[in-house]
Amino acid sequence: MSGIKNIKFEDYELKCDELTEGCKFCILGEKLVLFITGICNRQCYYCPLSENRKNRDVIYANERKISTINEAIEEAEICGSKGVGITGGNPILKIDRTCKYLKALKEHFGKDFHAHLYTTLEIEEKHLKKLKEAGLDEIRLHPRMENLKDNGINNDVNKKELELNKLVEKLKLCKQYIKKVGVEIPAIPTMDDEILLLVKKINEIPVDFINLNELEYSETNYEELLKRGFSEKNDYSSRINGSQETALNVINNAKKDLNNNLSLKSNVNLKMHYCPSTLKDSVQMKNRLINRAKNVAKEYEIITDEGLIIKGIVKYAEGELNQNTSNVKDRVEKNDFIQLLEYNELKSGIDYEVNLSKSEIYLNPILLEEIVDYLKETGFVPEKEFSAYISEYYPTVDKLEIQRTPLITKKPKLNLKNRKKNI
Ligand code: SF4
């Protein structure tokens, strides 16, 4: 085996072997993350699930809370997904639901729609039969890291042996049913030796890959990580100190040992991957947002390089555009701002949109800035007072607004109608 390769992937350089199909879709943001349940029978101290998901029987397709298969399909379509990663919680605790969603996605998008699933060593033959039948392409097992930790106590040796043996047994079982089989674990600092041992152990059986994820803190695991002596790598990310070093150390040493020790049985197909948390934050998430934004942005909106959407908003007092429903059309048509857009031949139905219930007009943010500049320069004043601002928001279902930049702060004083001809 050679040393760790630097894989240039879009704008990100990865230190690992060749990527699995599941990883490729993930990095390109083309993976639908299907969180099938928050229920889990383990209590890993490093579990990063948020309060609204942990141990709750909820379903999310990417960041969208859903309750039907159709919503999952819709989300995959909107995001241009080419595959699905089924996660939780523990998906096998809701095996029938998992298989129903998986089967429906495969039927809708075709057999090339790649599907992988994360689960624990509680997986049994009955689950695998159902998953195979539903079309699962790849499975990733997660052993109990606490059982692998060697604290120098006799009992630990037994626990470790048992857990490793169980892992090997379950991987072999998975291999009988699922095409690609791997292990996915957090790279826990101080566990270099234990993880290296695990790599050597699974290298003796036909397993396809091991993914080492950089350990991250979240609002729910922070206290537990702190208690165990872990600390943040810096104050601008959620990375844990030493995790990256552990992952790279394990991969390098495993490759060295396998190259040097010819007596060691070697599975030359075992791929080792390190997945840094920045990859999730800055590449996967960004690509997924961009893919979603491309499908949901209106023609007058702009998509940023980060996958956010920007639009211009003109806001009137509540009810201004619809307070008297009998003459809404009249009211809208006579609206100064809409007349201004019409005068500039922008009233084509795609260059702006009127939201009657909110008394808002949405349009291209650059155009709005130009109009506002024009109003300021000329002293040109619409009849009705309005505010104008640029809104930047996530292309998610809740359209979470992250920034609002006001363009007009004072009420203008001149009259639009008198100056309209001069536009
Ligand atoms: S198995 Fe996964 S979901 Fe369950 S507690 Fe551990 S990290 Fe959390």
Residue 301, C-beta contacts closer than 8 angstroms, at least 6 positions apart: 309, 310, 311, 362, 364, 365
Min mean pLDDT across 71-80, 157-166, 202-211, 341-350 is at 341-350
Residue 58, C-beta contacts closer than 8 angstroms, at least 6 positions apart: 35, 37, 38, 52, 65
Closest CA relative to residue 379, chosen from 345, 349, 418: 418
Query: What integer pLDDT is reported at residue 412 of this predicted model?
Result: 45
Helices (H), 261-310: 277-278, 285-296
Structure-token pair, residue 197? 């041992």
Mean pLDDT, rounded, of the chain:
83
pLDDT in tens, 291-320: 889 888 998 899 998 889 999 998 888 777
> Which atom from ligand 1 is nearest to the alpha carbon of 40?
4
> Which atom from ligand 1 is nearest to the alpha carbon of 42?
5
Question: Dihedrals φ, ψ of 181, to 5°?
Answer: -130, 130
Q: Count Cβ atoms within 10 A of the Cβ of residue 224 and give its class: 0-12 exposed, 13-18 middle, 19 or more buried.
A: middle
Coil/strand/helix, residue 198? helix
CA distances from 52 to 55, 57, 65 (A): 9, 10, 11
Q: How far is the CA of 106 from the centre of ligand 1 (A)?
A: 26
Q: Which residue has the higher pLDDT, 165 or 291?
A: 165
Query: What integer pLDDT is reported at residue 287 of this predicted model?
Result: 79
> CA-CA distance, 410 to 407, in Å (whole number)?
10
> Nearest residue CA, atom 1 of ligand 1?
42
Residue 414 has pLDDT above 60, yes or no: no
Query: What integer pLDDT is reported at residue 3 of this predicted model?
Result: 42
pLDDT band at 11 (very low <50, low <70, confident <90, very high): very low
Q: How far is the CA of 42 from the centre of ligand 1 (A)?
A: 6
pLDDT in tens, 190-203: 999 999 999 989 98
Query: What integer pLDDT is reported at residue 21 of this predicted model?
Result: 65
Q: How far is the CA of 248 from the centre of ligand 1 (A)?
A: 23
Q: How far is the CA of 26 from the centre of ligand 1 (A)?
A: 20
pLDDT in tens, 85-116: 999 999 999 999 999 999 999 999 999 999 99
Closest CA relative to residue 141, chosen from 94, 106, 178: 178
Query: What integer pLDDT is reported at residue 324 of this predicted model?
Result: 54
Q: Which residues line ligand 1 (CB under 6 A)?
A: 40, 42-44, 47, 49, 88-90, 120, 142
Helices (H), 228-327: 243-260, 277-278, 285-296
Residue 16 has pLDDT above 80, yes or no: no
Q: How far is the CA of 52 from the centre of ligand 1 (A)?
A: 14
Mean pLDDT in residue range 385-411? 83
Place of tokens 């995001």: 79
Query: What integer pLDDT is reported at residue 184 of this predicted model?
Result: 96
Number of H helices, E strands in the chain: 15, 17
> CA-CA distance, 136 to 111, in Å (whole number)?
10
Residue 413 has pLDDT above 50, yes or no: no
Q: Which residue has the higher pLDDT, 102 or 414?
A: 102
> Which atom from ligand 1 is nearest to the alpha carbon of 38?
3
Q: How far is the CA of 409 from the centre of ligand 1 (A)?
A: 49
The top-scoring range by mean pLDDT among 82-96, 255-269, 321-335, 363-377 is 82-96
Q: Which residue has the higher pLDDT, 377 or 309?
A: 309
Coil/strand/helix, residue 73? helix
Share of the chain above pLDDT 90, in %: 48
Residue 390, C-beta contacts closer than 8 angstroms, at least 6 positions apart: 310, 311, 312, 313, 365, 368, 369, 404, 405, 407
Q: How far is the CA of 47 from the centre of ligand 1 (A)?
A: 5
pLDDT in tens, 44-56: 999 999 999 999 9
CB atoms within 10 A of CB 420: 13
Q: How far is the CA of 43 from the centre of ligand 1 (A)?
A: 6
Q: Count Cβ atoms within 10 A of the Cβ of residue 182 and give its class: 0-12 exposed, 13-18 middle, 19 or more buried.
A: buried
> Which atom from ligand 1 is nearest to the alpha carbon of 120?
1
CA distances from 333 to 44, 72, 312, 341 (A): 60, 40, 19, 11
Query: What integer pLDDT is reported at residue 375 of this predicted model?
Result: 77
Closest CA relative to residue 196, chosen from 256, 248, 254: 254
Mean pLDDT in residue range 381-397? 83
Share of the chain above pLDDT 70, in %: 78
> CA-CA distance, 400 to 412, in Å (whole number)?
30
Structure-token pair, residue 346? 């922008």
pLDDT in tens, 120-155: 999 999 999 999 999 999 999 999 999 998 777 766
Residue 242 has pLDDT above 60, yes or no: yes
Structure-token pair, residue 120? 């624990």
Q: Which residue has the higher pLDDT, 234 or 4?
A: 234
Q: Is 338:347 a contact under the CB 8 Å cutoff?
A: yes
What are the structural domains, with CATH classification, of the chain? 6-294 (3.20.20), 300-422 (no CATH)
pLDDT in tens, 315-355: 888 777 765 555 656 666 677 777 777 766 555 545 788 88
Residue 190 host element (H or E): none
Q: Which residue has the higher pLDDT, 385 or 248?
A: 248
Residue 416 has pLDDT above 60, yes or no: no
> Nearest residue CA, atom 8 of ligand 1?
47
> Nearest residue CA, atom 6 of ligand 1?
44
Min mean pLDDT across 232-236, 317-321, 364-368 is at 317-321
Ligand 1 pocket mutation, candidates 49, 58, 93, 217, criterion most atoms within 8 A of CB: 49
